[in-house]
């Protein structure tokens, strides 16, 4: 059992929780994710690790109420427990493996869309702790849906907020904010990390790659069971079949077929779509390595 030690409302229907998971807090790295289950028969819910406090032995999650399971999660309070918390899963951000010499030569920009602000935060915090603060764009529909602005300002070099409706900050989407920074404010970047809805990452990467900037995106939005066995997060990266939950969730944006990934994401929401994908993809529908491991 894993105790909830803090909870706060970030915006309507969006919550932050700190969960006691001592061993997980020691092992988790920025970019990785976890799986929670509310009870023994509960749905497996993959969520990005949004913060790590090794000293307190806690990991943080941010989630939005989208269905029954997340609605039940929102009803939990401090002192309540999750039945299971499996952490860490997936691969850490590539930034974790970079040397000080490499990071010192890079200007890094993070582009966060909506709830994607949460998985951006631990990477920005990690860079700040190592002495390499970076810039962050946060995009959201309107001012009332903006999350973690102050938390991000505490760890970033600069935070640029943009809203689709112009109710706060820059009036426009993250792509317009990015182009304004480069074209009008003289910003130069060597690496962009974009995390948010698939459609946002697709068009953000389109703009950054057009300027020759290496770009990494997180495919955590397409994950379902978090083990590679359900086939939901199967994606083509270059000429290879990858699984976001096992091989990622972060990948080189220039190698991702976003249209294919979004098509699969839409199809996977129906039973007919799942069956069609299984038939279409055959033996590559699931991750062999995970299936073999589960069988042992």
Q: Which of 154, 44, 31 is nearest to 92 (CA)?
A: 31
Residue-wise DSSP of 97-159: G--HHHHHT--EEEEEEGGGHHHHHHHHHHHHHTT---EEEEEESSGGG---HHHHHTT-SEE
Domain boundary among 72, 89, 106: 89
For residue range 67-118, list pLDDT tens digits in order: 899 999 999 999 999 999 999 999 999 999 999 999 999 999 999 999 999 9
Verify that 107 and 196 share a domain, yes or no. Answer: yes
d(CA 44, CA 112): 25
Mean pLDDT, the chain, integer: 89
What is the value of pTM for the model shown? Answer: 0.88
For residue range 104-160, list pLDDT tens digits in order: 999 999 999 999 999 999 999 999 999 999 999 999 999 999 999 999 999 999 999
If one counts every other C-beta atom within 10 angstroms of the C-beta of residue 262, the result is 17
d(CA 197, CA 184): 26
pLDDT of residue 293: 37
Q: Which of 252, 246, 290 is nearest to 89 (CA)?
A: 246
Verify that 173 and 103 share a domain, yes or no. Answer: yes
Verify that 85 and 98 share a domain, yes or no. Answer: no
Verify that 137 and 179 share a domain, yes or no. Answer: yes
Domain that holds residue 210: 94-218
How far is residue 62 from each of residues 6, 56, 101, 133, 167, measured CA to CA in Å?
12, 18, 32, 23, 24
49: in domain = yes
CA atoms within 13 A on the CB side of 22: 1
Q: How many domains does the chain have?
A: 2
Domain boundary among 89, 106, 121: 89
* 3-class SS of residue 271: helix
Domain boundary among 218, 246, 267: 218
pLDDT of residue 262: 83
The two structure tokens encoding residue 68 = 């029954």
For residue range 199-209, list pLDDT tens digits in order: 999 999 999 99
The two structure tokens encoding residue 271 = 């039973």
Verify that 107 and 199 share a domain, yes or no. Answer: yes
């Amino acid at each position: 059992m894993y105790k909830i030690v803090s909870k706060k409302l970030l915006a309507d229907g969006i919550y932050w929780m700190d969960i006691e998971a001592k061993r997980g807090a020691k092992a988790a790295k920025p970019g990785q994710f976890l799986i929670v289950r509310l009870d023994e028969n509960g749905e497996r819910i993959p969520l990005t690790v949004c913060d790590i406090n090794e000293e307190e032995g806690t990991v943080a999650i941010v989630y939005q109420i989208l269905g029954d399971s997340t609605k039940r999660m929102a009803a939990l309070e401090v002192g309540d427990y999750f039945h299971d918390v499996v952490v860490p899963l997936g691969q850490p951000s590539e930034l974790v493996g970079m040397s000080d010499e490499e990071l010192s030569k890079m200007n890094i920009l993070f582009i966060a869309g909506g709830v994607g602000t949460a998985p951006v935060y631990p990477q920005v915090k990690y860079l700040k702790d190592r002495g390499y603060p970076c810039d962050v764009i946060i995009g959201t529909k309107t001012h009332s849906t903006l999350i973690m602005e102050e938390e991000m300002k505490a760890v970033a070099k600069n935070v640029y907020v943009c809203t689709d409706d112009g109710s706060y900050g820059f009036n426009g989407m993250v792509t317009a904010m990015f182009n304004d920074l480069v074209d009008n404010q003289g910003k130069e970047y060597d690496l962009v990390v974009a995390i948010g809805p698939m459609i946002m990452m697709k068009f953000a990467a389109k703009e950054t790659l057009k300027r020759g900037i290496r770009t990494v995106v997180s495919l955590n939005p397409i994950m379902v069971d978090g083990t590679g066995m359900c086939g939901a997060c199967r994606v083509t990266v270059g000429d290879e079949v990858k699984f976001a939950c096992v091989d990622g969730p972060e990948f080189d944006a220039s190698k991702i077929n976003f249209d294919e990934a979004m098509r699969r994401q839409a199809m996977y929401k129906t039973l007919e779509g799942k069956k069609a994908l299984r038939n279409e993809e055959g033996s590559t529908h699931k991750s062999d390595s995970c299936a073999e491991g589960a069988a042992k």
